[in-house]
Amino acid sequence: MTAASLAPAEAELLRLETAVTAIAANLVELDGNQARLDLDRTRLTGRTAAAWADASDALGRLWDGYRMLTELIARARSLRDQRRPSDADRAAFVHEVLGRSVTLSTRTVPLAQRGLLGTGQVSTTCSPAELLAAMEAAFATAAGVADQAGRVWQRLLPAAAEAAAALDTVRGLVGASDRRPGGGSATLDEADRRLGAFTAALATDPLGVAEAELDAVRALIARADAERTSATELREALAQRLTDAHALAEELAGQRRTAEAAAAAAAGRFADADLAPVPGTDLRADLAAIDALAAAGQWALISPRLAAWTRRARDLLAGLRDSAARNTGLLSARNELRGRLDAYRAKAVRRGLAESGELTTLAEAARAALHTAPCDLDSARAAVAAYQDALTATIARLNP
């Protein structure tokens, strides 16, 4: 075989090697995924149990496929890297990489079912490319179930806890305002029963849980709260919540200024992809609309809107804080690397190594990485580390 005839196999081997590296990283990440761990240790029911059984089977096939690909690549490398491969070796290399060289399963054929010329075992085979395609589908199945269940838990578990806290709060207020035996508690008892059933279903079957049931629980709690409160109590409570909302709005404004300042300080100094955007949502108009309802005396309409506004405001505040922290962190990381480089250069001067050609080259490369915009922190960190390692090695060599 000529080099030209081996070229497709060489290219495919390179593709397989690259793919195996990515597969290993993704499988390790999926193995450590919190939702996947939770699914494994939970006694699942319903839709989630069925979906996770399929996903677990797919995950097993993924690890088997990774092992088979790794072994195949090792065999192919061994054939390719021989000093004087024969034509048979080259043909075997091409077959390993491009042919149906992967044995997926082998089953024994009962004697009664064989023909005279039939074999005792039948193997199912495929090419490495076909195995990769099957693994891609299996990964989508396993990761998809874990991601979907994780998203449901992440969204609905806090919402259920919030409903439980609201139920406890309203129950306490009902007990304080209604001294009649059992007075005013029927609606809350129904909410409590349904919330318990919803929470149990959410824990074991996140893919099959009905979110509308949580909405029904919230509605029951709101109705019990409305039945409990008098117009005066409602007005006083909501007035305080409005005051708190305005304080939160002020905090949002301050945090937005901080986030914008951090973004401005980092802009142009780092790649756009590294910068955290400043969330652009403006909630002032929504709060003004709630203020208008309060001015018009429409207190019964305020509570759900104010609760929704507060949730959105807290989410926005968290986003602004994250944005500021990210952009500030970029500058802090760069400045820390600059300080570290200066310290090591000073150490080189004290040791009389300031004129060392290799060290000077590495120091200049690190300085350029840290003082060039946009700054690639990974490259700069690597350059500083290279200078540090070279300096340490040089000192060790001169002072054995």
Averaged pLDDT, 300-309: 86
Query: Mean pLDDT for the chain?
Result: 83
Work out the pLDDT band at 163, boundaries 50, 70, 90.
Answer: very high
pLDDT at residue number 179: 40
- Does any domain span residue 23? yes
Residue 263 forms part of a structural domain: no
Q: Which residue has the higher pLDDT, 138 or 103?
A: 138
| Locus of tokens 């540090």 | 388
Q: Kindly tell me the burial class for residue 127, based on how many C-beta atoms sit within 10 Å of its own C-beta (0-12, 13-18, 19 or more).
A: middle
- Note whether residue 180 is domain-resident: no
Q: Which residues of 21-55 are buried (b: 16+ CB within 10 A; e: fewer)?
A: eebeeebeebeebebbebbeebebeeebbebbeeb
What is the structure's pLDDT at 278?
92
Q: Give the pLDDT band (50/70/90) at residue 180.
A: very low
Tens digit of pLDDT for each residue in 101-132? 777 654 554 545 555 455 655 457 778 888 88
**Residue 155 domain-assigned?**
no
Sequence-distant (6+) residues with CB within 8 A of 394 are 353, 356, 358, 359
pLDDT recorded at residue 277 = 93
Q: Which domain holds residue 371?
A: 330-398
The average pLDDT across 250-263 equals: 92
Q: Could you tell me the pLDDT band of residue 160, with boundaries at 50, 70 and 90?
A: very high
Q: According to DSSP H, which parts of the chain are helical? A: 3-31, 34-41, 46-80, 87-98, 128-177, 186-204, 211-228, 231-266, 284-295, 302-350, 357-371, 377-398
Burial status of residue 159 (CB atoms within 10 A of its CB: 0-12, 13-18, 19 or more): middle
- How much is the pLDDT for 181? 43
Largest CA distance in the chain: 97
Residue 173 lies in a domain: no
For 328-364, the pLDDT digits (tens) are: 999 999 999 999 989 999 988 888 887 778 888 998 9
pLDDT exceeds cutoff 80 at 155? yes
* For the chain, percent of residues with pLDDT exceeding 70: 90
Count up the domains in the chain and report the number: 2
Mean pLDDT of 383-398: 89
The per-residue pLDDT for range 185-235, each reduced to its tens digit, is: 788 889 999 999 999 989 889 988 988 999 999 999 988 887 776 656 677
At 135 the pLDDT is 81
Q: Is residue 185 part of a domain?
A: no
Res 303: pLDDT? 84
- Averaged pLDDT for residues 85-91: 82
Task: For residues 259 and 142, give the distance between their C-alpha atoms in angstroms, rounded to a whole number.
Answer: 38
Identify the burial level of 273 via C-beta atoms within 10 angstroms of its C-beta, where 0-12 means exposed, 13-18 middle and 19 or more buried: exposed
Which positions ≥6 away from 33 have C-beta within 8 Å? Answer: 143, 146, 150
Query: In this structure, are residues 277 and 292 in contact, taking their beta carbons and an 8 Å threshold?
Result: no
Q: Compute the distance between CA of residue 154 and CA of residue 243 in angstroms, rounded to an integer.
A: 30
Q: What percent of the chain has pLDDT over 90?
A: 24
> Can you give the pTM of this predicted structure?
0.45
Task: List, for residues 15-61, the tens digit of each pLDDT value.
Answer: 888 888 888 887 788 877 787 888 888 898 889 888 888 888 888 88
Q: Is residue 366 part of a domain?
A: yes
Q: Is residue 288 part of a domain?
A: no
pLDDT in the model for residue 176: 62
Q: Enumerate the β-bridge partners of residue 124.
A: 105
